[in-house]
A and B are shown apart, each in its own frame.
Chain A
Amino acid sequence: MKEKFYRPLIIVFSIVLLTACGHLSRTEKQTELTDRWNANDSQLVADEMIGDMLSFPWIREYHLQQHGSSRPTVIIQRVRNKSHEHIPVETFINDLKRALIRSGQVDFVVGEAERMDIRRERADQEGNAAAPVEFGQETASDFALSGVINSHVDELGRTRTVAFQVDLKLINMKTNREVWNGQKKINKERRRALIHF
């Protein structure tokens, strides 16, 4: 009889043990869970493309013209997302900036929105601060970096391949000459389970 009484309780406690609480953990590296663009892709593409950009002759030519007195200044204009998926473009632009700053070979000037904010702040300082920063001292950009993210999706049977293609170009602001054009592709493949109920 005792056995009969305890049996349901054993079942109950077994279920309790099996149903531990949900798992939450912190991870440094993003795992590829889907075929979408992720943080790893963003960093990988930024590092590789900036590496490629700095290996082109434009930077050497610039130093020759300037007699090595200063580093070229670059502005990142716009990277358009023409792909089929939402991509956090701002994060990608920040990855590009980090890769450029890390190289130590170029300087940056900020984009339009930030420039306007700074000018407003400067105007405010002019009327209130003891030693305000003067107007007309801004650094102009020598080169403009812009680009497009595209994607191609191909599907056959249970397999789907997604190719993200990032095209970036660097333009000399004085001459409008395209001094660098880089391309990086990331291919992802997803296979659906054969049997899924």
Chain B
Amino acid sequence: MEFFYRQSLVLPFILLIFLISGCPAPVLKEGMLQNALNESSAKDLSKTVPKVIADLKLKKEGKNRLLYQMELGTFKHLARKYKESNIHFRQADQIADALYTKSVQSHFASMMTNPRSGDYGGTDLENVYLNYYGALNYLQLGMGETDKKVRNKFLEKAQIEVRKIEIKLNKLANENGSYKEFKDKEATIFSTLIEIFNIFSGNINKKQLVYREDAYLRYINGLIYELQGIYDDARISYQKSAELYESGYAKQYALDKENLAQQAWFDVARMLKLEGDRLPYFLSKKLRQDQQQRLRKLKRGKSETEIIVIQHVGEIPMRKKLNFHCTIDVKQKSLILTPIIIDTSAEGMKEKIAWFSMLYANNSPLTLIHSYAKAGGIGVLQSLTSKTIHLGPLWNVAEKIGLIQSIALLGIRVVVPYYSPPRPPIKTSTVVVNGKSYPTLKMETLSTIALQEQFKNAGNDLRNALAREAMKSITGDNLSELAGSYAPLFSMASKLTGVLTAGAETRNWRTLPYSIRIARIPVQAGQTQILLKTQFPDGTETISNHQILLKNGEIKIWNPRTISKHLKR
């Protein structure tokens, strides 16, 4: 009887979960950036931006202040208001820094209610890219100056941002270890054993997904040093970039290892030549014929006249919510997590199933065999569509603190974040200068970095969400006991509050690009016309053009943003 009573309550509970989507996170929805840019030219974009920010309910103060500064900073960058943009990025840097020491306190409040109720401190990737945009803004300000002294002042400021990037990347490398250390560790017997058992437990190897360094940012650091004529430091940064692309960065983020490493090694060689140093033998071996020819023409202290196109493509994907209904199985002394695969679109449902199957389902061979032996085909199906967490000896502890009793009747709603599969916004792009085509090199895919970070944190996200909702449920039950005869009503109310307040961390810096592509083109001094041809997955192509005036030995940068085939800036 109790079973039927329970079942009759569970269905409305699930429906309630579906109906309640909770407060939406204040992040740009898909297409919002594109629309904002479509509606205005670069000049009056700063008029459109406040409206977008107001629509999102992003505020200068409060828990989302970091997001406010980051989004506004990028919008102002796109509007070519580089000084204003850097005011926002400086603020963002200070907020992120302050939150670094306060994060535990802030997380505590959100741990008890909803991760979105706490201060947003940004991911490692976002914290590094704050300074990247800061450096880009100073570069653009410097490029626009004819007075050498003022230009150098901006370049010096860009260098400060570079130093900040280096400090942050060094911290990541120290915490997570280098690619070489990871490879060495993988080669040990102990790691091999762990790998074997991981296969059985169906886990993913988290160490492979860690954002441990950034080859592209190292490359950009090299470029900023080069623009200042600090060739020794430029050489060090280019070399770090080349080594990273070679040792694992390109493999981890599915980039073209050979071409990227070759470009970075070529820049290392150029820096050595500019300093009048001899090229080491290993370096000459790494270069292509055409690169070696260019090097031969290069003279000490005389840099080439060059145009660098840095194309920022698309926008980083949104984080979405995946709901679970958590119940208990008294016989097995387990918690059962069933995903609520209901969505407004068939595609959304497929995504949720895929995310659940990849990261949470009981799909390890041992669990499936166990389920088959116990309940045949239905058991296997159940295993694949739910996650069972065997509490074992912890069952008694759970009973003692009231967890089992609290979940027994209706279960609890648990929410975790997930990403839709990233869809490349463009296929490829080419720069045409003086009738000659130069392919752009995809040097960074921020979308893949973000996705891998989410993959890596999936286990922790679920654990924290379970602990949070369980805590809320137990506290509600205990408080309702104080309500005497109204206890059942009070308990039900607290459960509903739990359902309403359950949430996942779905905030992210949405104006970051999906990927970044670069082309370096040696040209003659004078006025130069550049065409950027972008090919899209549907076979269409758009062309944007730009004029650059260069003096002899000068390097200038053009960094357009391509959001979709209808929009390039």
Contacts and interface: CB of A to CB of B under 8 A. Distances in A.
Instruction: Tell me the interface secondary structure of chain A in the complex.
Output: loop
B499 interface: no
B177 interface: yes
B246 to A, nearest CB: 15
Contact of B232 (A19, A21, A36, A80): A80
Given A8-B474, A22-B100, A22-B101, A196 B108 contact: no
B478 interface: yes
B181 A192 contact: yes
A8 B475 contact: yes
A21 B102 contact: yes
B105 A19 contact: yes
A36 B100 CA distance: 23
B236 A84 contact: yes
B26 to A, nearest CB: 26
B402 interface: yes
B401 A81 contact: no
Contact of B401 (A7, A21, A157): A7
A15 B111 CA distance: 11
Interface residues of B, number: 34
Interface size class of A (residues with CB under 8 A): 20 to 34
A192 B233 CA distance: 27
Interface in A86-142: 86, 89
A23 to B, nearest CB: 8
B471 interface: yes
Main secondary structure of the interface of B (DSSP, over half): helix
A21 B481 contact: no
Given A21-B104, A85-B236, 19 more contacts: A1-B481, A4-B478, A8-B401, A8-B471, A8-B474, A16-B108, A19-B105, A19-B107, A19-B108, A22-B100, A22-B101, A80-B275, A81-B236, A82-B277, A83-B236, A86-B233, A86-B236, A86-B237, A155-B180
A6 to B, nearest CB: 9
Interface of A: 1, 4-5, 7-9, 12, 15-16, 19-24, 34, 36, 80-86, 89, 155, 157, 192, 195-196
A16 B177 CA distance: 31
Q: Which of A84, A157, A195 has the most CB of B within 10 A?
A: A84
B35 interface: no
A16 B107 CA distance: 11
Contacts of B294: none
Given A80-B232, A81-B236, A192-B181, A8 B478 contact: yes
